[in-house]
Structures are given as C-alpha cells and as structure tokens.
Amino acid sequence: MDIEPTKVEELRNTVKEIYPDWPNVADPHLQEAITRARELLSEAELRRLLNAGQYDEIINRLRQVAQMGKVLFLNGPKQGDLDILQQGTLDRPGFCQALVDLLYGPGPSPERLGQYIRYVRGHTLPNRWPFPTYFLFVCHPDTEMVVRPPNFFRWLIVKHLKIKKWEWFPDPSTYATILEVAQALKVALQADGLRDMADVYTFIRVAA
C-alpha cells in the first residue's frame, strides 16, 4: 500500500506543530514494555510455562508488561483493558493456549487474531481491540500495531486516508488494513528516522 505524499506531509506537519523537534519523540515507556516482553513473553518462555501448566504465571506476566507501556487503560471497572483476565469464568488453560497461538502460532497475524476472536466469542469473554493488539505489538514491535485507542485509527483510516469503513470490534480484515497503513507510514517516514512500529504508533497518536 502506498499513501499519497501529500497525506503523509499533512500528518508530519500536524505532528511538528506539537513536537517541533520531531522525530526525537521516542516513547521510553513503550521501549521498556518491548524490552520486558522479550524477557517475560518470549515464545520459549510462554511455551515453557504453558507446558508446565503455570497459567497463573503467564497471566501475572501479562499484567506486568501491561503496566509498563502506559498505553492500556487499567483503572476502569475490573481493570479496564485487562478485564478479560478478571472474568470469573475464565478457563485459564484454554485462554493461555489461545494467547500463545495469537502471539506465536502459524500464519499471518490477522489470521491469528481471527482465531483468537473466535475463541473469546465462543467463551463469552470481552472482545475489544486493545488487549490482543497490545501484546502482539510488544512481542513483535517491527511488524505489529497496538490499536489503542481505536478512534485514533478510525480517524486515520476513515477520515484522513478515506480507505474503508471501520469495525469497532476486532476484525482480521480491519487489522490487516491497519498494518498495511502503519507499514506504509514507516516506509514513507524512513528519512525521519523511525525505527519500529512504536515510533509509528507515537506518530499516529500525536497526529490524531
């Protein structure tokens, strides 16, 4: 996907109105979350814990990494964006397997997100954008994007770029479009020194 240069320049000018020294606005909280995710949520670690039946430890690690990014909303009812972990009916073995499959299973990430969505719907669990995409993002910061808050991405995709309609609940096709747009922005802004999707996320958040 290519984004019209004029659209990119409009976004860049908007960001520079707020941060004149762009692109020197790397978010240390995101970088800390990514570093900790490499340690606590690596594929080897999660599969080791899964095989050992240490489901509580997996969930504790999710909570730890969630606290670091300063992205998720954690203060609402039942801890906001982590409310899925607070469900009394949560089948921890099944959920942990679904999460590992989301993060490290075969196939492209939109397809894995679709499998995750089917799991949470089938178990009547909260199904919103921030939780699954945050952990995809911190575990794969070169390729994935956190959709939080969703209205920022709706603004970018629907209003600014006029690409397609928006799905308020997680949807594989919409997530694939988000990734295409984010990767296109990363390429278009290479000269600005963007390193990974964390920088792209910061750019989108400020522009929105």
Predicted pLDDT at 78? 64
Predicted pLDDT at 22? 76
pLDDT at 92 over 80: yes
Predicted pLDDT at 94? 98
Over the stretch 103-147, which tens digit does the pLDDT of each residue have? 999 999 999 999 999 999 999 999 999 999 999 999 999 999 999
Q: Taking the CA of residue 46 as centre, how many other CA atoms within 13 Å lie in the half-sphere pointing to its CB?
A: 24
60: left (phi over 0), alpha (psi -120 to 50) or beta: alpha
Average pLDDT (55-74) is 95
pLDDT at 44 over 80: yes
pLDDT at 25 over 70: no
Better-predicted residue by pLDDT, 124 or 21? 124
C-alpha span between 62 and 41 (Å, rounded): 8
- Per the CB < 8 A criterion, the answer to whether 65 and 57 are in contact is no
